[in-house]
Amino acid sequence: MSLSTVSTAPTAPEASYTDLGALRRQDPELADVLAAEAARQSEGLQLVAAENFTSPAVLTALGSPLANKYAEGYPGARHHGGCELVDIAERIAVDRAKALFGAEHANVQAHSGSSAVLALLAALLRPGDTVLAMGLPYGGHLTHGSPTNFSGRWFDFVGYGVDAESGLIDYDQVHALARSHRPKAIVCGSISYPRHIDYAAFRAIADDVGAYLIADAAHPLGLVAGGAAPNPVPHADVVCATTHKVLRGPRGGLLLCGAELAHRIDRAVFPFTQGGAQMHTIAAKAVAFGEAATPSFTAYAHQVVANARTLADALADGGFAITTGGTDTHLILADPAPLGVEAHSARGRLAPPGSSSTPAPCRTATPADCASAPPPSRPRA
Ligand SMILES: Cc1ncc(COP(=O)(O)O)c(C=O)c1O
């Protein structure tokens, strides 16, 4: 279905999709919560590296009537009727994602980063298969083998660590673990690793042991879009990500892969792990991909890194120990231990006076803490 065969011209006056006044008249209790959260976000210091502020255009798509539409399946092959227009939205999102990241195939339906990991593990592996990923104490995500998560329950995860001194990934250790455990898949990607990942090195290790290479680029994907971080797409069999971190889109997931895995990935998302696609979120992803393709987003992504480097330097000057000595990204691992403060107290001290909000770094452990933890062959919860 193309724009030339389906009219996208509005036939009714466009409503304001984000009409706080209507919500206030109907449900003042909830309106107060929304207004207070908006104030919290604009008046406090927000340091959660996994969060961002979407544009009014993205919020408008999220609050649009596309939220009403059921659309199981994929464009042109839906289980529901009336999908002509949401099909166009999804095709725009897919085409923009493919162009932005140079991928042969994009699936924009994953409801979240975790849903994307679930789908790709379902697409590539069988329950019980071995997977090599960064151990949780070193920055692996819950979906990289936590016993509290489907990943740790259904797959045999082996964890690699980072060097206790440098905080950097030890590629020789990854290679040695890959050779001894012969994983079916290797995951590169982290919730806290502040340096660029050497995707070519991971590719070489995966090829050496015949494993799939999965890049969980949830954190750096926005930097990739803005040309401020290396692109995992040419190296990995499948790239999974979130759209709501540096990328500045709606909360959601994204999968990128080559043409030969496209069908398996799509079937693993729907119908294997998800039902109806969230068309308002997919439209909002399309808007975000459009924004991320602009020169101003390129400038933004580079500014994010410059700001993070300035903050890391200032924290180091203030006595924090900065793991890896700095950052290439938007992530900083700052250890307040040299100041005699542990991480939770430091976070609490960042809250605005009289407020219960707590600007939070993502992690409250460092690689050095982990040196006293069990060896990285098994992740800890
Ligand atoms: C590396 C990585 N993978 C997966 C996820 C999961 O994303 P979500 O919270 O959308 O499920 C995150 C979230 O922070 C992440 O950092």
pLDDT digits (tens, 9 = 90+) for 120-141: 999 999 999 999 999 999 999 9
According to DSSP H, which parts of the chain are helical?
20-26, 28-43, 56-62, 84-101, 113-124, 150-154, 171-181, 199-209, 221-225, 259-267, 279-292, 295-317, 343-349, 367-371
pLDDT exceeds 50 at position 20: yes
For 343, the 3-state DSSP assignment is helix
pLDDT of residue 264: 98
| Residue to mutate (ligand 1; options 114, 118, 149, 363; most atoms within 8 A of CB) | 114
Q: Is 84 a catalytic residue?
A: no
Which CA distances in Å does 131 have to 88, 154, 181, 381? 37, 11, 9, 17
State yes or no: cis peptide before 336, omega within 30 of 0.
no
What is the CA(313)–ligand 1 centre distance, in A? 27
For 355, the 3-state DSSP assignment is coil
Mean pLDDT of the chain: 91
- The Cα 277–Cα 25 span in angstroms is 31
pLDDT exceeds 70 at position 291: yes
- Section 10-39 average pLDDT: 84
Instruction: Kindly report which listed range (206-210, 274-278, 338-342) carries the lowest average pLDDT score.
Output: 338-342
pLDDT of residue 241: 98
pLDDT of residue 10: 63
What is the DSSP-derived secondary structure letter of residue 67?
Answer: G
Q: Is 245 a catalytic residue?
A: yes
Which residue, judged by its Cα, is nearest atom 9 of ligand 1?
Answer: 113
pLDDT of residue 85: 98
> Which residue type does 54 have?
T
What is the CA(254)–ligand 1 centre distance, in A? 11
pLDDT of residue 185: 98
pLDDT exceeds 50 at position 378: no
Domains of the chain: which residue ranges? 68-292, 295-371
Instruction: Kindly report which listed range (11-25, 143-157, 347-361, 363-377) carries the lowest average pLDDT score.
Output: 363-377
Is the beta carbon of 143 within 6 A of some atom in ligand 1?
yes
pLDDT exceeds 50 at position 284: yes
User: pLDDT class for 375, splitting at 50, 70, 90?
Assistant: very low
pLDDT of residue 380: 27
Atom from ligand 1 closest to the CA of residue 219: 16
Is the beta carbon of 242 within 6 A of some atom in ligand 1?
yes
Give the pLDDT confidence of 61-85 residue by residue, as tens digits.
999 999 999 999 999 999 999 999 9
- Section 151-179 average pLDDT: 97
pLDDT of residue 123: 98
pLDDT exceeds 70 at position 16: no
Instruction: Please tell me the CATH code under which domain 68-292 is placed.
Output: 3.40.640.10
pLDDT exceeds 80 at position 376: no
Which CATH superfamily is 295-371 part of? Aspartate Aminotransferase, domain 1 (3.90.1150.10)
| pTM, two decimal places | 0.92
Sheet harboring 156-160: ordered strands across?
Answer: 105-107, 253-257, 238-242, 212-216, 185-188, 130-134, 156-160
What is the CA(113)–ligand 1 centre distance, in A? 5
- Section 357-367 average pLDDT: 51
Beta bridge partners of residue 239, listed in sequence order:
215, 256
What are 25's two structure tokens? 């008249």
pLDDT of residue 373: 47
| Candidate list 251, 285, 327, 328, residue with the active-site label | 251
